[in-house]
Amino acid sequence: MPSVHGPDARNGDCAIYPANLWRPCAVSPSPSQKCNPFRQIMTFPTIKLPARPLTLKRGVISTPLAYYFSTPILLAIAVFMVVTEAPGILRDYTISENPLVLENGDIKGSCTTRKAIFTTCEVDLSYEHDGQRYDKDVEVMFVDMHSGDYETGLVISADRPDLATITLGLDMLWNRIITLSVFALLLGGGALAMIYLLFRILRVRGQLRHPAPLTPIPVEITGMDKKNNRLAITYADKVSERKTKRVAYTRFEAGQEPIIIGDAGSNAVALAVWHGDTFLPVLLDDKLERIEMTQQERTEALAPLYAAATQAGRQAAPSLAPAKTGPSLLRRLGLFLLVILLIIVGIFGYWLWYVTSAPSQFNSPGMDINNMLPEALNQWGCDQLQKRFADGPAPFGCTAADYQSWK
């Protein structure tokens, strides 16, 4: 496989390359100086292909297997969450417009917290209203960093007594709406994005079936795996003149390797081509077998790279996956602690705004934060809210045993 290197390992000087291929340094440095041409000017060796339109072999752009099984799974989860949670949210929103708390209702159930913050409450409600008995199954899901038991009551719609829920469900109504919206957008949006990428790959494959001029470009290898003697490589157009940052994935045939022509920081740089005006570049193999042309044309195209490698005094290819250097463990720990600190400051600031300046005491994130705080801070927050909303019912976290009056 042709490869090209910068400094000559034997004496530290810059190797001499053909003038029409690549000029690493304007002036040769002294042996004590380092010559790193790739990082100085970010230019890379290239090849000259026939000017006529050329055809690429089928399968040079691959589809990651994750696209096929992840997309339906993401869509299924998104649909399942919407189908199971949206009706309960709509029911509780209707009840919240004219709620009626029942004192003689029967509530049986429990709440389960998963992953420390995801809470699901499943309860059976039994109550009588206007001489008619009702039995309802209610389930609510919300995000809450709560420890201990929840206090709740039974509430129905004064307009439609057949609609019933728990007061906790109304207290967490906006929490539930936001939680469902975020999950639906993330899961559904992720699935739609993968569908879009899949159709883009299929479109590119269709365009590659027709001959077109090929333009060599350098691309950055961002990921690589080897299974059954076949390399699977993810690469991105980050170092060419266009720098489209488009990412593609390909699987080489057994024994094939990319043409490594340098490095860009911690990643290797390989040779690819644009096929006409297709959306994705195609990574080339070390023998140019992915291009439909004669063996003589392949030999002539690769000759400058072999000649440059010979002049550099190295025939061995560089590592395809240079060791990545990242921030130290101490620095990463410091960044993590900084993020945690910023989150805590943001939550505390939001809580202060809620108890001192919010236009309503029924602010779902504010109620949740106030309820989770230590007793002293919680009582202070409830006192501030009561000063401004003493004539109205108490919010979640500030209620007495009747779930309505201030504690």
Side-chain half-sphere exposure of 352, counting CA atoms within 13 A: 6
Q: Say whether both 373 and 268 belong to one domain.
A: no
Q: Say whether both 26 and 96 belong to one domain.
A: no
Find out whether 356 and 384 touch, Cβ atoms under 8 Å.
Answer: yes
Residues 29 and 35: their CA atoms lie apart, in Å, by 7
- Cα radius of gyration rounded to whole Å, the chain: 32
Which residues constitute the domain of residue 162? Answer: 68-183
Q: Say whether both 293 and 252 belong to one domain.
A: yes
In a domain, 332, yes or no: no
In this predicted structure, what is the pLDDT of residue 90? 94
Residues 254 and 336: their CA atoms lie apart, in Å, by 42
Q: Say whether both 232 and 175 belong to one domain.
A: no
Q: Say whether both 268 and 215 belong to one domain.
A: yes
Of 39, 50, 90, 9, residue with least CA distance to 299? 50
In a domain, 365, yes or no: yes
In a domain, 338, yes or no: no
Q: Say whether both 132 and 164 belong to one domain.
A: yes
Residue pLDDT tens, the chain, 407 long: 444 433 333 333 333 233 333 333 333 333 343 444 444 446 788 888 988 999 898 889 988 777 778 888 888 888 998 998 999 999 999 999 999 998 888 899 888 887 778 888 999 999 998 888 999 999 998 888 776 778 888 999 999 999 999 998 998 899 899 989 998 999 888 888 888 888 888 888 888 889 999 999 999 998 888 888 888 899 999 988 888 888 889 999 888 899 888 888 888 999 999 998 899 999 999 889 999 989 998 888 888 888 777 766 544 444 444 444 455 566 777 788 888 888 888 888 888 888 888 888 888 788 888 888 888 888 899 999 988 888 888 888 888 877 778 88
Phi, psi of 376 (to 5 degrees): -65, -45
Q: Say whether both 81 and 50 belong to one domain.
A: no
Sequence-distant (≥ 6) Cβ neighbours of residue 98 within 8 angstroms: 157, 158, 159
Residues 298 and 287: their CA atoms lie apart, in Å, by 7
Of 316, 309, 293, residue with least CA distance to 48? 293
Find out whether 43 and 68 touch, Cβ atoms under 8 Å.
Answer: no
Q: Say whether both 292 and 320 belong to one domain.
A: yes
Q: Say whether both 352 and 248 belong to one domain.
A: no
In a domain, 44, yes or no: yes
Of 309, 215, 332, 318, residue with least CA distance to 267? 318
Residues 125 and 212: their CA atoms lie apart, in Å, by 69
In a domain, 198, yes or no: no
Q: Say whether both 234 and 281 belong to one domain.
A: yes
List alpha helices for 279-405, DSSP H: 295-312, 329-357, 364-372, 375-389
Give the domain-ending residue among 325, 352, 370.
Answer: 325
In a domain, 396, yes or no: no
Q: How many domains does the chain have?
A: 3
In this predicted structure, what is the pLDDT of residue 372? 84
Residues 297 and 288: their CA atoms lie apart, in Å, by 10
Q: Say whether both 32 and 79 belong to one domain.
A: no
Output the pTM of the full model.
Answer: 0.54
Q: What is the largest CA-CA distance in the chain?
A: 100
Q: Say whether both 215 and 312 belong to one domain.
A: yes
In this predicted structure, what is the pLDDT of residue 177? 92
In a domain, 189, yes or no: no
Sheet holding 106-114: strands in order across? 106-114, 118-129, 132-143
In a domain, 193, yes or no: no
